[in-house]
Amino acid sequence: MDMQIKAPLEKKDRPVLITGPCSAETEEQVMATAEQLANLNIEVDLFRAGIWKPRTRPNNFEGIGFEGLRWLRKVKDTYGFRVTTEVANTQHVFEALKIGIDVLWLGARTTVNPFSVQEIADALKGVDVPVFIKNPINPDLKLWMGAIERIYKAGITRIGLVHRGFSQYGHTIYRNVPQWQIPIELKQTFPDMMLICDASHICGSREHLFEVSQTALDLNYDGVMLESHIDPENAWSDAKQQVTPYQLQDQILSRLVARKTGQDDDNFLSNIEDLRARIDVIDKELIQQVANRMQIAEMIGSYKKQNNIAILQSSRWNEIFTKVMEQAGPLGLSEEFVSKFLKAIHQESIYHQEKIMRMESNQKVE
């Protein structure tokens, strides 16, 4: 689909900032947070607050509801901040637009469900409003792309992306694992689409907010979504991942370094071309060596077939894996990368050996 997508927000010389409390709890809490952001002269592109909160389990705070929209409108009128909130159904869309919410976003629990996305898309037909789309909970690139296409087909052209990480079973340092390769791959399909990092939901705690935000900027993200709350310790939802406006400014924003693309820097381009050419040569050699390895794997497959030997030899695989992992550390390669790379090579080798065995079996049948 040929899509003519525009930026939902004006791009500036600094990172885009979307901030505000996870949830609108009381009018006093919302206004006090906005007031402190304004008093600190923090350049806020969108003031955010959740009005409806889809929770994993019942009996948790699920949002203040429609009344909170009026508080967001008051923030807009009082401090001049543009305001945004999450919508998850037709009624949310209608009420948010009616009161003057500037930008809408689709949450991860909505993006994961094409029926819900289509309901919102239908409600947006004939409306000119910017929409951000968060990644689905699970790491499914096609679901994310499908949500973009549904909203675009409704006539919305100002669309942006919010990367908030992906759920993963088991313990990690993150609430939602970033899996940076997924939004990077999506940007290859939509290179001009604004991409924001929701560091708060990736981290789930204050500890890594700066680190994740800086990583996003290093990867050429357009900005960050960071939750700020006048009293985060007593927040009604996601207390651990929110910071005060002062902490936001002092501990995160003041330390962030925005990166340039380098496309307009002739000196950078001239110096980088030689290094890129060397990488191209190495990549070509790397692919050729992988192909050579697969040819040998096919020879091994033929030998195993002739001698009625099983393809998978666990002791040999463990020996290879251990040996390569020992070599990787001194070379400055991470264990995670080498493990994934080696397992992918091993799986491809198995595939080639299976193909040889099937081919030889078919020949005998004939």
Mean pLDDT of 281-286: 90
Round the average pLDDT of the chain to a whole number and report it: 91
Q: How far is the C-alpha of 246 from the C-alpha of 32, rounded, in Å?
A: 12
Tell me: pLDDT of 22 over 50. yes
Sign of torsion over alpha carbons 224, 160, 128, 86: negative
Q: How far is the C-alpha of 12 from the C-alpha of 197, rounded, in Å?
A: 16
CATH number of the CATH domain containing 336: 1.20.59.10
**251-266 pLDDT per residue, tens:** 999 999 998 766 667 6
What end-to-end distance do the CA atoms of the chain give, in Å?
A: 46
In a domain, 330, yes or no: yes
Mean pLDDT of 234-240: 95
Same domain flag for 200 and 327 = no
Instruction: Name the DSSP letter for residue 312.
Output: -
Tell me: pLDDT of 363 over 60. no
Per-residue pLDDT at 54: 72
In a domain, 302, yes or no: yes
Same domain flag for 284 and 324 = yes
3-state helix, strand, coil in the chain (%, to 5): 55, 10, 35
Q: How far is the C-alpha of 49 from the C-alpha of 225, rounded, in Å?
A: 11
The count of structural domains within the chain is 2
Tell me: pLDDT of 169 over 60. yes
In a domain, 6, yes or no: no
Q: How far is the C-alpha of 49 from the C-alpha of 200, rounded, in Å?
A: 13
Same domain flag for 212 and 330 = no
Tell me: pLDDT of 61 over 90. no
Same domain flag for 311 and 185 = no
Tell me: pLDDT of 143 over 90. yes
DSSP-assigned beta bridge partners for residue 195: 161
Give the global pTM. 0.79
Q: Which domain holds residue 278?
A: 266-365
In a domain, 175, yes or no: yes
Same domain flag for 329 and 212 = no
Per-residue pLDDT at 255: 96
CATH number of the CATH domain containing 143: 3.20.20.70
Q: H helices within 87-208, ranges in order?
A: 90-99, 108-111, 114-124, 141-153, 181-189, 199-203
Chain CA centroid to CA 314, Å: 36
**339-353 pLDDT per residue, tens:** 999 899 999 999 999
CB-CB neighbours of 150 under 10 Å: 21
In a domain, 237, yes or no: yes
In a domain, 260, yes or no: no
Same domain flag for 235 and 128 = yes
Indicate the SS3 state at residue 191: coil
In a domain, 176, yes or no: yes
Same domain flag for 276 and 346 = yes
**93-127 pLDDT per residue, tens:** 999 999 999 999 999 999 999 999 999 999 999 99
Same domain flag for 247 and 273 = no
Same domain flag for 172 and 311 = no
